[in-house]
A and B are shown apart, each in its own frame.
Chain A
Amino acid sequence: MTITATRSLEAQDIEGATTALQSQPDSKTRRYDRQLRLWAATGQAALESSRVLVISGSATSTAILKNLVLPGIGHFTILDHESVSPADAGNNFFLEGFKSIGKPRADEAVRLLSELNEGVEGKADHRTLESILESEPQWLTSFTLIIAHNLHSSILARLSSLLWKDHTYPALMVVRSTGFLAEFFIQFHEHTIIESHSETAPSLRIDKPFPALKEHALSLDYATMDPTEHGHIPYVVILVRALEEWKQSHEGNLPKTYEEKKQFKKGVLALKVKSDEENFDEAEAQSYRCFTETKVPSEISTLFDDSAISPESLRQDSSPFFHLLSALKEFTIQSESHTLPLTSTLPDMKSDTKSYIHLQRLYKIRAEEEKQAFTSYLRASVDDELIDSFVKNAHGLQVLRGRQWGAFDADKEALATALLTSPKELMIHLSLSALSAVNSRGVKPTLEALREEVQAIIGEGVVPPDELEHNIGELVRAPTAELPNMAAFLGGMIAQEAIKMITKQYIPVKGYCVIDLIETWTGVVGA
């Protein structure tokens, strides 16, 4: 099945009402309706072409996969050579109780997970990770994403080094859980995001109106205007005009001081001819838009210094994202306003239909012109839909650079900082690291063994905070417990982050995300 019918979700402001489908969408679109409202057809397409490898068929692993199979990833493989134990049969919803005992765990899990979504391909693989690392490491790199749950430290280190070798290799999600405590970490080199779904709206550029907008605002004759029309002038127009007049009498400056701002607002309200003109009230409330100059947001201008777009590094085969970013930088330098390209998204405002639609049209035409200008700075061929999306979301672009799994534990300086800024979070992370290390060596996890291990990581002489005893106490209480609720909680968390990584929408977590289900909180350390 294809998903072209769902394009309307994101493209709805492009496609006119006349092309709206008059009949009900196909069954696949209806099935995915509630998620398409979050990541649209582009996100769905990315999910459907993804291939996810999950190492182990544990309760946590199947809980993660459930939340990836339901929204419709393309393919998953479970790598697991174990047979179902009586303990597995009791805590894993994707096994059939005692009926599954003794059967290959990967087969049972794949069979039951596949029932959730016919569109997803599932595969059980009975090899060991050791044998794959020995004989066929390249096989691992054929996946989009690899998720590993409770893997022993030594083999995890080998897997992580392999995947860290090349920046095109898949990201690795490392998950550790015991009893009420857990953590996860995403190892990736670089992750670029166009659709971050930023909650800040792009600037309407009232302080730097484009010529057609300025002309329109100044052409209105408030005095001779019909009173109904006067009560429906959109606030954008009111403010552009008021600000142009202000600038003329203030040497081109915006209202700066508290007094000036008050005076400006008073001036806006004084334009009312009748007290119930809500559009002027709205204009007063929106006056803050006139008090700071529209510039390239600092989060975006920081990206312009990124080494990936330096003339030496940007090549024809660089990713489209960096070609677009480079063009954006050039656009902000060359354009008259030194801002990001205008977007055509206009918020709703008190106005009559005609004035609003006229204003919307002005924005749309100008946005198209600026997009053309932006495109002229592109030094590589980029898909037109991607350009549209980039320009529309330019104010929320993200470039994340990650670290290798384990690098934090070896970074004494970072550990010392975390000890001061986030001791609670750090102690969960280190307790779990210690447990894994102790297990790897085949030593019984006692309080002493764990305490010693943590001390070794943070360094001799460094005094750990009190939380350490709480955490290692919990680990000793239940050293191998994979609780169904923790598995389900992680299943949600990891799948959520996996979806963000695969769709390149929204912003994934950086560093170790730690979870304490006793007091029920989450935190981040080592970002």
Chain B
Amino acid sequence: MADTLVDSNGTVTSSDWKDRFYHVDQILDRPGPRTDPSFLAGDEVKDFLRNNCKILVIGAGGLGCEILANLALTGFKDIHVIDMDTIDISNLNRQFLFRQADVGKPKAIVAAQFVMNRVPGVKVTPYYGRIQDKDDAYYLQFNLVICGLDSVEARRWINATLVNLVDPENPESLKPLIDGGTEGFKGQARVILPTVSSCYECSLDMLNKPTAFPICTIANTPRLPEHCIEWASVLEWPRVHGDKKLDTDDPEHIGWLLSVASARAKEFKIEGVTWSLTQGVVKNVIPAIASTNAIVAASCCNEAFKIATSSAAYLNNYFMLIGTDGVYSYTFEHEKRDHCPVCGGESLEISISREWTVERLIEMLTESQNIQIKRPSLSTPLKSIYFQSPPQLEEATRPNLEKKVSELVPDGGEVTVTASTLPFSLSLLITYT
């Protein structure tokens, strides 16, 4: 590695000053007792990490800020980051690359700039936009992908995209995906080797089911402050405002919901409607703190470092942490699911009643813990059953909703399920009871 260089004006320009990597190099210069024999200690591995390895970070929020800082300090120098959000004041209690003056600016751009200023010689390339904007060629350029997202949909998308990228003829096409997530004092980090180990879709049933309030409770028998808030946002907002979209980040909109919900609460003698609760319910706010994010992001980056350098064994394959009562953690191997629609390859066999309508089947697909497909479209190899979009096709297939599945699909027949939010299709084998 080069020593500090001095340019013609006499200012220090080089980034790799002597002993810059004093700490990390202790690991990279020699193997440990648990290191894989394939580890190439010394200059070769350092050169790969610092000059050749290209890593993608998805999300520049609570986890993303931490991930970017850790990767930069560890020696990754070609880092890309994608995020579609802008900075909100409520991010500042944990997203430490942002300041009050940055509120409203794109997270990816501000975070990239901050890390480049703080850690000399690191290149962070931001993209302010959606992961879905990018094609396969884009994702193929990276050696590793780290995901710090709070959206299940986005994770399912990137997971399926990376599984689809795998070409058995080309080992380079397998991009390890490291995924982290947190909620309050709890979090998890995992390593996914697409097609080899359990993928994000394989573990969909581990997600907590979101609280959903039945519409009849909201409309007729409210009991909790949450019911009054749902009434204001789900029923009253569209009734009063028509097509105007509710913006849960707009304080005026929240203020309106709060006053409508408060009035209803008062009418029913329900206590506890507050600004904080209103915002919490309509935005589905998840508590978040710097410390949990730090733990999860650090373990994601540590796995990235170990995978990129082979300097030590890596996580196989799931680390779960609960910090509410002492420090409880559980490291285990999550198993692949045979019928995983993304990496399983086999069709999912489902057995339903001959009386089931298409609508009932769609409801089941939406609610089932290991399927969870919002707004699915259905077809057989020969014909369309129901399509959510475009509008003409939706209208044309709508009459099928009331028909029995058994009238449209033979026993043992195949149904393909797709959704616009997911880059994969689920194949169902239908049998009748």
> When chains A and B are docked, how far (Å) is the Cα of A15 from the Cα of B262?
12
Whether B301 lies near A485 (C-beta < 8 A) is yes
Among all A-B residue pairs, the 10 with the closest Cβ atoms: A492-B294, A473-B33, A492-B295, A87-B22, A478-B26, A90-B20, A484-B73, A488-B298, A489-B298, A481-B26
Whether A97 lies near B33 (C-beta < 8 A) is no
In the complex, B273 has a CB within 8 A of chain A: yes
On whether A86 and B20 interact (CB within 8 A), knowing A34-B288, A478-B27, the answer reads yes
Q: Give the residues in chain B near A27, CB-CB below 8 Å.
A: 89
Q: Which of B66, B90, B96 has the most CB of A within 10 A?
A: B96
In the complex, B272 has a CB within 8 A of chain A: yes
Smallest distance from the beta carbon of A372 to chain B beta carbons, Å?
Answer: 21
B33, B223, B289, B294: the one within 8 Å of A351 (CB): B223
Smallest distance from the beta carbon of B430 to chain A beta carbons, Å?
Answer: 28
In the complex, A32 has a CB within 8 A of chain B: yes
On whether A18 and B266 interact (CB within 8 A), knowing A13-B272, A31-B92, the answer reads yes
A25, A37, A97, A497: the one within 8 Å of B118 (CB): A97
Whether B94 lies near A70 (C-beta < 8 A) is yes
Whether B26 lies near A90 (C-beta < 8 A) is no
The stretch of B163-171, B323-331, B404-412 that contacts the partner chain: B323-331
The stretch of B128-136, B152-160, B240-248, B250-258 that contacts the partner chain: B250-258
> When chains A and B are docked, how far (Å) is the Cα of A21 from the Cα of B12?
55
Whether B17 lies near A86 (C-beta < 8 A) is yes
Whether A12 lies near B287 (C-beta < 8 A) is no
A239-284 residues with Cβ-Cβ distance < 8 A to B are none
Q: Give the residues in chain A near B325, CB-CB below 8 Å.
A: 196, 506-507
In the complex, A140 has a CB within 8 A of chain B: no
Q: Give the residues in chain A near B119, CB-CB below 8 Å.
A: 93, 97
For chain A, the count of residues having a C-beta within 8 Å of the partner chain is 97
> When chains A and B are docked, how far (Å) is the Cα of A462 from the Cα of B263?
72
Whether B327 lies near A522 (C-beta < 8 A) is yes
For chain B, the count of residues having a C-beta within 8 Å of the partner chain is 97
Whether A470 lies near B34 (C-beta < 8 A) is yes
B22, B279, B289, B305: the one within 8 Å of A485 (CB): B305
The stretch of A382-390, A437-445, A513-521 that contacts the partner chain: A513-521
Chain B residues with CB under 8 Å of chain A are 4, 12, 15, 17-24, 26-27, 30-34, 66, 69-70, 73-74, 89-90, 92-94, 96, 99, 118-120, 184-185, 189, 220-225, 228, 251, 254-255, 258-259, 262, 265-266, 268-277, 279-280, 285-299, 301-303, 305-306, 312-316, 319, 321, 323-327, 329, 331
In the complex, A91 has a CB within 8 A of chain B: yes
Interface string of A20-49 (1 = CB under 8 A from B): 111111010011111111100000000000
Whether B294 lies near A67 (C-beta < 8 A) is yes
A9, A24, A199, A349: the one within 8 Å of B251 (CB): A24
Whether A357 lies near B69 (C-beta < 8 A) is no
Smallest distance from the beta carbon of B52 to chain A beta carbons, Å?
Answer: 20
Q: Give the residues in chain B near A518, CB-CB below 8 Å.
A: 32, 34, 306, 312-313
* 6 examples of A-B residue contacts, CB within 8 angstroms: A17-B225, A17-B273, A351-B221, A485-B302, A492-B294, A518-B313
Whether B323 lies near A496 (C-beta < 8 A) is yes
In the complex, A499 has a CB within 8 A of chain B: yes
Q: Give the residues in chain A near B228, CB-CB below 8 Å.
A: 17
Whether B324 lies near A507 (C-beta < 8 A) is yes
Whether A480 lies near B289 (C-beta < 8 A) is no
Q: Give the residues in chain B near A96, CB-CB below 8 Å.
A: 118
B4, B120, B221: the one within 8 Å of A352 (CB): B221
Whether B324 lies near A520 (C-beta < 8 A) is no
Closest to A471 in B: B33
Q: Give the residues in chain B near A125, CB-CB below 8 Å.
A: none
Whether B303 lies near A474 (C-beta < 8 A) is no
In the complex, A98 has a CB within 8 A of chain B: yes
> When chains A and B are docked, how far (Å) is the Cα of A127 from the Cα of B289?
33
> When chains A and B are docked, how far (Å) is the Cα of A509 from the Cα of B21?
33
Q: Give the residues in chain B near A36, CB-CB below 8 Å.
A: 276
Q: Give the residues in chain A near B276, CB-CB below 8 Å.
A: 6, 8-9, 12, 25, 33, 36-37
Q: Give the residues in chain A near B27, CB-CB below 8 Å.
A: 179-180, 477-478, 481, 483
Whether A12 lies near B277 (C-beta < 8 A) is yes
> When chains A and B are docked, how far (Å) is the Cα of A352 from the Cα of B220?
8
On whether A90 and B21 interact (CB within 8 A), knowing A20-B262, A521-B331, the answer reads yes
Whether A116 lies near B96 (C-beta < 8 A) is yes
Whether A521 lies near B329 (C-beta < 8 A) is yes
In the complex, A164 has a CB within 8 A of chain B: no
Smallest distance from the beta carbon of A471 to chain B beta carbons, Å?
Answer: 8
Q: Give the residues in chain A near B34, CB-CB below 8 Å.
A: 470, 473-474, 518
> When chains A and B are docked, how far (Å) is the Cα of A399 from the Cα of B105?
47
Whether B24 lies near A496 (C-beta < 8 A) is no
Smallest distance from the beta carbon of B282 to chain A beta carbons, Å?
Answer: 14
In the complex, A78 has a CB within 8 A of chain B: no
A13, A31, A93, A98: the one within 8 Å of B17 (CB): A98
Q: Give the residues in chain B near A12, CB-CB below 8 Å.
A: 225, 271-272, 274, 276-277
On whether A21 and B294 interact (CB within 8 A), knowing A66-B96, A86-B17, the answer reads no
Q: Give the residues in chain A near B258, CB-CB below 8 Å.
A: 20-22
> When chains A and B are docked, how far (Å) is the Cα of A373 from the Cα of B2?
76
> When chains A and B are docked, how far (Å) is the Cα of A76 from the Cα of B430?
64
Smallest distance from the beta carbon of A168 to chain B beta carbons, Å?
Answer: 24
Closest to B12 in A: A98
Q: Give the residues in chain B near A481, CB-CB below 8 Å.
A: 23-24, 26-27
Smallest distance from the beta carbon of A62 to chain B beta carbons, Å?
Answer: 11
> When chains A and B are docked, how far (Å) is the Cα of A18 from the Cα of B264?
11
Whether B298 lies near A13 (C-beta < 8 A) is no
Q: Which of B265, B280, B312 has the most CB of A within 10 A?
A: B312
Closest to A518 in B: B312
> When chains A and B are docked, how far (Å) is the Cα of A507 from the Cα of B272?
27
Q: Give the residues in chain B near A477, CB-CB below 8 Å.
A: 26-27, 30-33
Smallest distance from the beta carbon of B120 to chain A beta carbons, Å?
Answer: 4
Smallest distance from the beta carbon of A116 to chain B beta carbons, Å?
Answer: 6
B4, B99, B275: the one within 8 Å of A98 (CB): B4
A32, A357, A499: the one within 8 Å of B291 (CB): A499
A398-453 residues with Cβ-Cβ distance < 8 A to B are none
Interface string of A100-128 (1 = CB under 8 A from B): 01000000000000011000000000000
Whether B294 lies near A489 (C-beta < 8 A) is yes
A53-86 residues with Cβ-Cβ distance < 8 A to B are 59, 63, 66-67, 70-72, 85-86
> When chains A and B are docked, how far (Å) is the Cα of A519 from the Cα of B70?
19
A349-384 residues with Cβ-Cβ distance < 8 A to B are 349, 351-353, 356-357
> When chains A and B are docked, how far (Å) is the Cα of A16 from the Cα of B59?
39
Whether A91 lies near B185 (C-beta < 8 A) is no
Q: Give the residues in chain A near B94, CB-CB below 8 Å.
A: 34-35, 70-71
Closest to B325 in A: A507
In the complex, A524 has a CB within 8 A of chain B: yes
Whether A520 lies near B299 (C-beta < 8 A) is yes
On whether A18 and B295 interact (CB within 8 A), knowing A488-B66, A519-B315, A520-B331, the answer reads no
New contact pairs (15) apart from A180-B312, A488-B301, CB-CB < 8 Å = A15-B271, A17-B228, A30-B89, A30-B90, A63-B294, A87-B23, A98-B17, A179-B26, A348-B224, A352-B220, A493-B327, A495-B294, A496-B327, A507-B325, A518-B32
Q: Give the residues in chain A near B285, CB-CB below 8 Å.
A: 33-34, 37
Whether A521 lies near B319 (C-beta < 8 A) is yes
Closest to A16 in B: B271
A99, A485, A495: the one within 8 Å of B70 (CB): A485
Q: Give the residues in chain B near A517, CB-CB below 8 Å.
A: 299, 302
In the complex, A482 has a CB within 8 A of chain B: yes
> When chains A and B are docked, how far (Å) is the Cα of A91 from the Cα of B22?
9
> When chains A and B are docked, how far (Å) is the Cα of A232 from the Cα of B316?
50
On whether A513 and B327 interact (CB within 8 A), knowing A18-B262, A492-B291, the answer reads yes
Q: Give the residues in chain A near B299, CB-CB below 8 Å.
A: 485, 489, 517, 520
In the complex, A197 has a CB within 8 A of chain B: yes
In the complex, A170 has a CB within 8 A of chain B: no
Whether B298 lies near A492 (C-beta < 8 A) is yes
Smallest distance from the beta carbon of B285 to chain A beta carbons, Å?
Answer: 7
